[in-house]
Chains A and B, each alone.
Chain A
């Protein structure tokens, strides 16, 4: 009898968690649809969009640049060491470039921006909610979704491909520096190898991923902020939720996008 109770309780707990998960997914999808529909309807806030482009795009450059620079360098070392096992050291430039542009550039930039921007968006909007600034917006005839959510989502979706493009160049530069200064590659040969083996599709697929990741980061940041609980603890939890959920969604969508873009 006791065993049956335990099993029933465990099943009920799994059921509750599953229902809560689906309810959360439903709320996020509804929130996303609401944000997307507001993107198409006036009024628009171009000044807010410009501010967010600056905050999300420009100010994330150092973080993304440093991340991709060191990763590009480390990647060159790893591929060189691995390639040496079957005399394929010469593939370093092309693998660094393809790996960076297709995969590491967008994913690492996405994760870094999730940490920097997603957390900041959730904390800012969460604090606005707790201090009734969002209610104040409503009473001032301003739709909070239009004013706060739309500019952030648009800015992140637009800025991320540019960030990733720059991050890719810096990452390849990192590989180039390690390749030429540490692994004795000829500079001209390294550049030729990089350019020759890279295709336009490699770059565009990475940029598509970047736009999707930007959307995810801003969506989860704004959603977590809007659903933040009360007080410092509520805002702290919203910030954590924004970063964790955006990171997981970035990794999951990266797999799905890779399947979609490269399965053929």
Chain B
């Protein structure tokens, strides 16, 4: 018996004017597994995530969640969390309100005190002290902002989490800490995760499976354990960071 993938993309295409970013992407992510999408800058990794989220409408192809086309995006988003590249925290709100933002909306919204308690608990989960809850994002370092972003992404215990370049701009130690946290959280929540990154240490720490996007298509897709022996010259060049190879260094 085959199980339906949690997220499946079939022939997804997207162009911005004459720039064809996605040229027929086929991809499947099993429930509870962690897929990392790698690829050079400008290969459409972020566009791919935005297509799944419905922020960008694909020109062709279909995106299936639990085997069905997404009819109600609100339903999907209510079980979804995302860590953005720059954390994307709301400057005008204190950290606790950022973390508990979703839980302060709608009919069953949390009161201020409960929201603060929940935010403090989530902040502790990502290694931040309770005092941070009452600071504003501008008062935090880049690493702390990423952790707050992570706390916000997991606040509602989502079943699907996306991580967009989670370690960009962080020092190697902080990057390692964030990678470990992501792995722990994904395993603890049993969530389905998609991460996009250039950072190979992130790939090895976070991924169950890896997909490489190149020229608007999935060039290679396999288990993370197989990536060093993929036999694909593009993948080899990318994971070893070589200037020489089939991928043009100037795009």
| CB atoms of B86 and A131 under 8 A apart | yes
The docked-state distance in angstroms from the alpha carbon of A136 to that of B101 is 10
Of the residues A131, A132, A140, contact of B102 by C-beta under 8 Å: A140
Give the docked Cα–Cα distance between A155 and B102 (Å). Answer: 24
Interface residues of A in 19-63 (CB under 8 A from B): 43
| B244 located at the interface, meaning its Cβ lies under 8 Å from any Cβ of chain A in the complex | no
Interface residue A138 (Cβ < 8 Å from any Cβ of B)? yes
Contacts of B105 in A (CB 8 A): 43, 140-142
**Are A141 and B102 within 8 A (Cβ)?**
yes
Q: Count of A-B contacts with CB under 8 A?
A: 45
Looking at B4-12, B77-85, B214-222, the stretch in contact with chain A turns out to be: B77-85
Q: In chain B, residues 90-142, which have Cβ atoms closer than 8 Å to a Cβ of chain A?
A: 90-91, 101-102, 105-106
With A139-B53, A140-B105, A142-B105 known as contacts, the answer to whether A133 contacts B77 (CB < 8 A) is no
Q: How large is the interface on A (under 10, 10 to 19, 20 to 34, 35 or more residues)?
A: 10 to 19
Residue of chain A at shortest CB distance from B90: A133
Which residue on chain B has the smallest CB distance to residue A143?
A: B74
**Contact sample, A vs B, 28 pairs, CB 8 Å cutoff:** A43-B105, A131-B88, A132-B86, A133-B88, A133-B89, A133-B90, A133-B91, A135-B50, A135-B53, A135-B55, A136-B82, A136-B90, A138-B53, A138-B55, A138-B77, A139-B53, A139-B77, A139-B80, A140-B77, A140-B101, A140-B105, A141-B74, A141-B77, A141-B102, A141-B105, A141-B106, A142-B101, A142-B105
Q: Which residues of A contact B (CB under 8 A)?
A: 43, 128, 131-133, 135-136, 138-142
Hey, which bits of chain B sit against chain A, CB under 8 A? 50, 53, 55, 74, 77-78, 80-82, 84-86, 88-91, 101-102, 105-106, 152
